[in-house]
Amino acid sequence: MSGEEDYAFPAPIGKRHVHLFRHEEVLTLPEHLGKPVGWVDYKHDIRPELVQAIHAFHALGLLDPHHTVKIGTTHIPFREAFLAAIPEPSTLIGPMGGALAIVVEIHGTKTDGSKGAVRASLTMEHREANRRRGTTAERFLTAAASATGVIMILPKRVPRKGVLAPEELPPEHLLPELEARGVKFQIEDLAAEVGPSERTST
């Protein structure tokens, strides 16, 4: 785990310590956005106790996929047992507290040649997602985005046939459909960065 930094998320979440994660957007954005992309990263906030456990298990070699443990009469990779021991939020008794925030920051050059930066974000409390659909905010937002993609396929409002990355969907069609399902981004201008720190991040 690397690329650590403190990041200020929208309320009610506030500042959190985030880490670099492997995620598909890092690979698909440069390929499918249709505009030059200099840098993409994906960062996630996880509990400090879990970070410490991951570092400790990694240092001991326990997260190597070839390191197995015996459970009953079967040998399985320790990392699979470790991941299986982490409870799925939907299995918890009662609505889960807290909130989920998704933030995308874009730093780059505008059409007039000037530097610019924009932040798009959305925040949802888990209790609100549970009230609406009996699930967590992460699952609610994932399902809403998936349903929107399917709805756009039927009237042929997608650019081509085949497998599409989300950034290939026309925003003029995508955003109204998302808003109809209770998913609305807050857009704000940021101070533009200058120099080698310029990047597109998610």
In a domain, 24, yes or no: yes
In a domain, 51, yes or no: no
In a domain, 161, yes or no: yes
In a domain, 61, yes or no: no
pTM (two decimals): 0.75
Cα–Cα distance measured from residue 101 to residue 27, given in angstroms and rounded to the nearest whole number? 22
pLDDT tens per residue, the chain (202 residues)?
568 899 999 999 999 999 998 889 899 999 999 888 999 999 999 888 888 888 899 999 999 999 999 988 999 999 999 888 877 665 554 667 889 999 999 999 988 989 999 999 999 999 999 889 888 898 899 999 999 988 888 778 888 888 888 899 999 999 999 999 889 999 999 987 654 444 444 4
In a domain, 81, yes or no: no
Host domain of residue 164: 5-46+87-201
Q: What is the count of structural domains for the chain?
A: 1
In a domain, 82, yes or no: no
In a domain, 27, yes or no: yes
Sign of CA dihedral 144, 147, 153, 155: negative
In a domain, 11, yes or no: yes
